[in-house]
Amino acid sequence: MYDALSAGDREHLDRILHPDFVGEIAEGMPFQVGGKHDGAAAMRRNGWGGIARHFDARAEPDNFLEIGDDRLLATGRYRGRSRNGGALDAAFAHILTFDGERISALQQFTDTARWRDAAGPTTGVVRLDIVEGIATLRLNRPEQGNAINEAMASELNAAVKAIADASGVRAIVIAGSGANFTVGGDVALFAGTEPAELPARLRSMIDGYHLAIERLTGFDAPVIAAVRGAAAGGGLGLLYAADIVVAAHDSRFALGYAALGLTSDGGNTWFLPRMVGMRRAQELFLLNRRLTADEALAYGIVTRVVADGEVEDEAYGIARKLAAGPTKAYGAMRRLLRQSFETGLTEQLGEECETIVVSARTGDAQEGVVAFASKRRPHFRGL
């Protein structure tokens, strides 16, 4: 297992991990990778993968001790460096549980303080604030057009996980500092990277970014994006994850991959054809066409266009309205709408039936029905 993890040998891990594998990483690890991960895929992606996105390190076991018939204690040290350059040297103890010849569980114990010290301080390129049930994710590299680099992808993923762990979040606003929403990937960073190292750097950055987008689509709380200036490349993925997109008259939208000889990230090839149609998506990808705010509105990429100085006021007005709504019902609506492109009519009708029955048990549904019958405005609590 340790050799497979060091080499990134997924096929070998699949062979030795039990289908019902459960991994537990020590609470207190940096970047919110600690906790329980149900399933080998979840452990690879969010546990071991989360560590790999922030550290170039390996576990070096030096002692093994059998514990009963089906468990093994492995002790040793983690050695390596964080992506920020901090040196890591931390002891570990792993308890491995076996089901036959396959590993069914792993419990990790380690000196989490050493991991946090190695990780170093966050750069603050993503700011998270939660006020009165509204979480704000703000991209914060204004001098670079909020270009997405490794730090931003990492901090965005951590911030989204922090929202998931927080209680009482009923709406989410995504915005950018300065004149732009985001110009997409940090091309200056790519140009300054040795060609042989660029693929691994892209993978490290995009894995965490994609996880953040996926998590944003799964919240009950609706997501509102406030766009000024450029929204481009993989940064468009944050717009796709949103339910409402408010754009300034001066905003502009582009993919830009063809100009770099690259393909796509941020979910562009999945979301964009569903949103604008295949022919328009092909034009945007292949001809690298840039859209104005009004064109993006006509294409269905944005919800409404407002005066340049009114974007965030409009977005927060919508957020406050949604935050006062039936949050669990909103979450079910979000899931039903997203899955509708992949689901047959019969299955979707069945899902609608099951979902409305479940939602009828919520306190907000009971309040909504009584308020409607009483001809008064409902007071939803998100429960």
- CA 175, CA 59: separation in Å to the nearest integer? 39
Question: What pLDDT sits at residue 224?
Answer: 98
- Please check the confidence at residue 85 and state whether its pLDDT lies above 90: no
Q: Token match 């009923």: residue? A: 170
- CA 255, CA 233: separation in Å to the nearest integer? 4
Per cent of the chain over pLDDT 90 is 72
pTM exceeding the 0.75 threshold for the entire prediction: no
Using pLDDT thresholds of 50, 70 and 90, give the confidence band for residue 122: low
Question: Which has the closest alpha carbon to 276: 253, 257, 258?
Answer: 253
Per cent of the chain over pLDDT 70 is 98
Using pLDDT thresholds of 50, 70 and 90, give the confidence band for residue 123: low
Q: Quick check: 290 and 254 in contact, CB under 8 A?
A: yes
- Please check the confidence at residue 92 and state whether its pLDDT lies above 90: yes
What are the pLDDT digits (tens) for 287-311? 999 999 999 999 999 999 999 889 9
Question: Which of residues 258 and 119 earns the better pLDDT score?
Answer: 258
Q: Which of 76-90, 103-117, 245-259 has the lowest mean pLDDT?
A: 76-90
Continuous H helices in the chain: 2-7, 10-16, 40-42, 49-54, 112-119, 150-165, 187-191, 198-218, 236-241, 257-260, 268-276, 278-286, 293-299, 311-323, 327-339, 345-359, 363-373
What are the pLDDT digits (tens) for 199-257? 988 988 899 899 999 999 999 999 999 999 999 999 999 999 999 999 999 999 999 99
- CA 29, CA 332: separation in Å to the nearest integer? 32
What are the pLDDT digits (tens) for 243-292? 999 999 999 999 999 999 999 999 999 999 999 999 999 999 999 999 99
Q: Which of 83-87, 183-187, 253-257 has the lowest mean pLDDT?
A: 83-87
CA dist 216 to 171, 301, 330, 362, Å?
11, 17, 13, 23
Question: Which has the closest alpha carbon to 95: 19, 28, 23?
Answer: 23
| DSSP SS3 for 375 | coil
Q: Quick check: 89 and 111 in contact, CB under 8 A?
A: no
Q: Quick check: 163 and 135 in contact, CB under 8 A?
A: yes
Highest mean pLDDT among 5-14, 46-55, 235-244: 235-244
What are φ and ψ of residue 25, in 5° steps?
Answer: -100, 140
Q: Dump the DSSP string for 267-295.
A: THHHHHHHHH-HHHHHHHHHS---EEHHH
